[in-house]
Structure 1
């Protein structure tokens, strides 16, 4: 059924106009003019991570700024696409608006079962994917460019929907132990890399079964390590680099006690 959405007071067009000026082949910025989708893609990914970082630090002022930087990436790509004759910014906005309405029939349509909204979302998304992509695999459409931990989790979730999954964590823990043995047995660098990959994949599987986001867990571990290591450096001062491994281990234990 048609959805009557009120016009938002937010206006993205001034930003689009700025980008149009920057990309003007005659009067624009030389750096902006020479960019293409491939050269800008790393900045897009970086800005998304900076948004996540601001959220993790609960820094709303930074979040506002980082969301602006991320929005600029959308406008940048859209402007390049328009100049190449592919699509316009308005097409991007119209497309995502229509998609959100289409995937939420429990909100915008006649369906009344709001509790089943996520299941409906997944069902509609799968149907759309099948319509666009002739690849019949349950794993089709999992983007290659996303972080490896996230892609591993997504591949595992897709496989699990077909029934290919451990019933509980017992089998996953055993698999991790098995992969660790294979890591220790590997000799050739290529084999070591492969076995480390298998071990990481199995650890992601355990995190998934425990409903833990592996990326979030690893970021927390990184932050904890950095915090404790900096404490070690502070306690040792300029002498840190010259300490023996045993002395550094003693500092590490002291740093852990102060965490």
Structure 2
């Protein structure tokens, strides 16, 4: 990390140049709102590189992700809101404040024998959450249980976090089997809608949403992050389908020429050979 400060200063300087009158027209046109899409995209690319185990790509994607933060801070600075160094000081202060088991009040690190040291990762997380709750309570503004769950999160992840938040105040199914029963209930309601009101897409959408919400909460009960589970399922399907396509191409055929029965038969062979 010895050269991180110098490299970061250079990144900030490059960003200032790009936003200057002599800089890039596209960069000058961007706003906080227009950049949100790119922030989310870069975050997903970081995750993708990690899950693929591609460290060269991860190195680049982390840089891109940091750049988006600097970009946002530069736009904010031009509007007189805050500067990037304000953001950095804020996060450093928060990290020190919420890690009293590591840092003393003056920022120095506790020695290894200090009684303040957290005995476990779980204890450290509990302390973090307790301090976070204290800060919110002392802010003078009302904070609801679900107010801190961003609406911009992927919907499955948001459902997972909503369930986790309300469970924290005791609003939860008692056991996993109760969530499974809820899922079965939602499946029955969706089936009933499809059978009795096949043209009512709005109702079907509502029932599908209820089912997905229940599935996200079953994931929570099982300690499984639903977005990660679905990403793995997507990857598994993609690999199998790519193999299916390759197998047909080797015989001089394309999938559009095969029957569903032929494709299903080959699909089952692919699954059996995994």
Taking structure 2 as the reference length, what is the TM-score of the superposition? 0.88
Residues 1:98 and 2:103 are matched in the alignment: no
CA-CA distance at 1:232 after TM superposition? 1.1
Match of 1:235 among 244, 247, 251: 247
Indicate if the aligned counterparts of 2:136 and 2:143 stay in contact, CA closer than 8 A: no
Q: Which runs of 5+ in 1 are unaligned?
A: 1-6
CA-CA distance at 1:136 after TM superposition? 4.2
Per the alignment, residue 4 of structure 1 pairs with: none
Q: Judge which range, 72-81 or 138-147, deviates more.
A: 138-147
Report 1:210-221 matches (<5 A).
Answer: 210-221=222-233
Q: Say which SS state the counterpart of residue 141 (structure 1) adopts.
A: coil
Residues 1:45 and 2:27 are matched in the alignment: no
| Residues 133 and 258 of structure 1, relative CA distance in 2, 3 Å threshold | farther
Per the alignment, residue 18 of structure 2 pairs with: 22
Per the alignment, residue 171 of structure 1 pairs with: 178
RMSD across aligned positions (CA): 1.6
Per the alignment, residue 246 of structure 1 pairs with: 261
Report 1:124-143 matches (<5 A).
Answer: 124-132=131-139, 134-143=141-150
CA distance in 1, matches of 2:140, 2:31: 26
Deviations 1:40-91 (CA, angstroms, capped at 9, x unpaired):
1101110000000010011111100000000110110011111110000100
Kindly tell me the number of residue pairs found equivalent between the two proteins.
252
Displacement over 3 Å in runs of 4+: 129-136
Indicate if the aligned counterparts of 2:179 and 2:214 stay in contact, CA closer than 8 A: yes
CA distance in 1, matches of 2:153, 2:83: 25
Deviations 1:181-207 (CA, angstroms, capped at 9, x unpaired):
011111211110011111011111111
Taking structure 1 as the reference length, what is the TM-score of the superposition? 0.93
CA-CA distance at 1:117 after TM superposition? 1.1
